[in-house]
Amino acid sequence: MPIATPRQYAAMLDAAQAGGYAYAGINVSSIVTLNGALKGFADKKSDGIVQLSTGAGEFVSGLNVKDMVLGTIVLAEAAHKLAAKYDVLIALHTDHCQPKKVDTFLRPLIAETARRRAAGLSNLFQSHMLDASELPLAENMKLSKDLLKECAKNEIILEVEAGVVGGEEDGIDHSDQPREKLYTSPDDMLSVYDALNGLGRYMFAATFGNVHGHYKPGAVKLRPDILKQGQQAVIAKHGKDAEFDLVFHGGSGTPVEEIRETLGYGVVKMNIDTDTQYAFTRAVADHIFKNYAGVLKIDGEIGDKKQYDPRSYLKAAEKGVAERLGQACDALLSSGKTLCGKL
């Protein structure tokens, strides 16, 4: 069915919050990874969220163009066409956008959705992320308020972040941040609620020691209780309806038991990128290593066209992405819970 409408997306998030599960937010950067994401969600009968970053948009537009907005629109429109062939609900989302790129990335995409709506078409994107965590919280919230108002006019959900996700992803490097920055305090969570309440629907990426990338066991010290404490503080002051829709960044490599713990504290979306990137590349490497003489023209030989045809290993890569995403759906308890046909 087509990409989720704003009403359907809101219902997806409500169902996850009420049902104690979450959606994988998988980053894609090509038709192959997009197809892998759609296959992964469909195979698990799970609704889900497909994400594009500024870097992915630039990559999609090609080496000679390098236009992050153009590439993002091209792949998003492809997603609208391809998702219509699947019996799950898919939402489109943009990942980390820093303040310096708001006017050159987020606002043009919001304007594109506004243009589509004026023409009687559906939203291009259902949600966007503003990552203003590099700013002092007051400045972060000022920018978040302005963008949330713009998004709300077009039934777009805004994801905001307070606190810093460690590590490096897609050119955003927070690996040198002091440890205390990796944990969002209950006071900060109250400040986010007080600033944004009533302006429109939003998701909140509160940080609890999570990092981008993949690390050996024990290297990352997650504290999911941070989320619990923050939710309790907000609910105690403002009531049950104030509960945040939380986002878990840096989900790759996280043990299942820690993922499941966050679901009880209001996480409705978990980002996965590093693990699916590896699943893609592992499948390509397997193909090349197993078919080395056919992939390469060695010692004057002619190779094997069937083996160096990019489709031969990109099919395997698509399958690898889908299988790893399926594991995430199982861990997040979204498998078998699609709302497709029920709304």
Angle at which helix 107-118 crosses helix 137-152, to 10 degrees, equals 10
Question: Can you say whether residue 187 is alpha, beta or left, with left for phi > 0 and alpha for psi between -120 and 50 degrees?
Answer: alpha
Measured CA to CA, the distance from residue 200 to residue 165 in angstroms comes to 24
Instruction: Identify whether the C-beta of residue 8 lies closer than 8 Å to the C-beta of residue 291.
Output: no
Instruction: Identify whether the C-beta of residue 275 lies closer than 8 Å to the C-beta of residue 259.
Output: no
**Helix or strand (DSSP H, E) at 77:** helix 68-83
Structure tokens at 58: 């630039």
Q: Could you tell me which of 125, 162, 152 has the C-alpha nearest to residue 247? A: 162
Instruction: Identify whether the C-beta of residue 173 lies closer than 8 Å to the C-beta of residue 159.
Output: no
Active site residue 187: no
Instruction: Identify whether the C-beta of residue 215 lies closer than 8 Å to the C-beta of residue 253.
Output: yes
Strand partners of residue 172: 169
Strands (E), 196-258: 202-206, 246-248
Catalytic residue among 47, 95, 131, 245: 95
Measured CA to CA, the distance from residue 126 to residue 99 in angstroms comes to 20
Measured over all CA atoms, what is the biggest interatomic distance in the chain, rounded to whole angstroms? Answer: 75
Measured CA to CA, the distance from residue 181 to residue 327 in angstroms comes to 30
Q: Say whether 243 sits in a helix, a strand or coil.
A: coil
Residues 6 or more apart whose CB falls under 8 angstroms from that of 277 comprise none
Structure tokens at 104: 């050159």
Active site residues: 95
